[in-house]
Chains A and B, each alone.
Chain A
């Protein structure tokens, strides 16, 4: 009988181990070949965006490039075709943006799908909006770039 009770904690521990392993967990893509390049491209995107440097920003793009936010979809076939993004944002009091969260959700050696949340800040450092977005980052034509982004920003 004592042996039966002695084995109970062990059985519970094993049960917990089993159920914990069954709990849904996000996949870990940290070792995927596209993971590091995807984060680097997104870092470069944000740095160029905050520098209001459209040339540098568009160097993080593959063309054709799509920002999926308007209807009908506008396909950028080359640099210099975007609206005045920085002017529009400045008019709403924007000074800079930052990534709040970035998570790769699908990945292979040549492509990553990344979910991101970004925040927009006023010049005084106060945050005034926050949006989710999806970024498609690929190795194509010899470099890693953003092929498409789809955000929930208006």
Chain B
């Protein structure tokens, strides 16, 4: 056995393992659902959800919801009946040092013509762009009443 070649092979495999450990969200992709009718709307709704959330405008954010909407998090179920119910979300988060959020990963896991179930990981950032926190969650996006919007979300945020 040539030790030099053995070590080279070992290093190569190590590099590969190292590369895959630092890329992606660590889960399988969702390309199998790419042709599902709810797939693109699910990404669009969650894009709009995040953009309007970061604008701290409850009316614009509320436009991405079906009402009533459900948030299952922090050991409670919150029924959101209108954009007005969303107002205090921004002040509560700002009190923790929050400035904005971003999707770190999104993956459609179940899908049909009028509904998608999407797993996500989102990150909360401070104004200096440092990470405040990171949580997994799931979003239920549906076509109801003539439009695509968010019906429910369930996160692992405390």
Contacts and interface: CB of A to CB of B under 8 A. Distances in A.
B94 interface: no
Nearest to B110: A132
A10 to B, nearest CB: 5
B124 interface: no
Interface residues of B, number: 46
Contacts, number: 129
Contact of A150 (B2, B17, B66, B115): B115
B119 A3 contact: no
A134 B79 contact: no
The 8 tightest CB contacts between A and B, nearest first, are A18-B16, A3-B2, A22-B20, A7-B5, A14-B13, A11-B9, A24-B28, A71-B144
A115 B151 contact: no
Given A17-B13, A64-B79, A75-B79, A11 B70 contact: no
Given A18-B17, A21-B20, A148-B154, A134 B68 contact: no
Nearest to A22: B20
Contact of B154 (A6, A7, A136): A136
A7 B6 contact: yes
A6 B17 contact: no
Interface string A109-133: 0110101000000000000000011
A145 B102 CA distance: 31
B95 interface: no
B110 to A, nearest CB: 5
A15 B5 CA distance: 13
B1 A75 contact: no
A113 B16 contact: no
Contacts of B9: 7, 10-11, 14-15
Contacts of A108: 156
B67 interface: yes
Contact of B2 (A7, A15, A17, A66): A7
Interface in B16-59: 16-17, 19-20, 24, 26-29
Nearest to B15: A18
A115 B110 contact: yes
A68 B152 contact: yes
A11 B8 contact: yes
Given A3-B2, A26-B28, A113 B138 contact: yes
Nearest to B25: A24
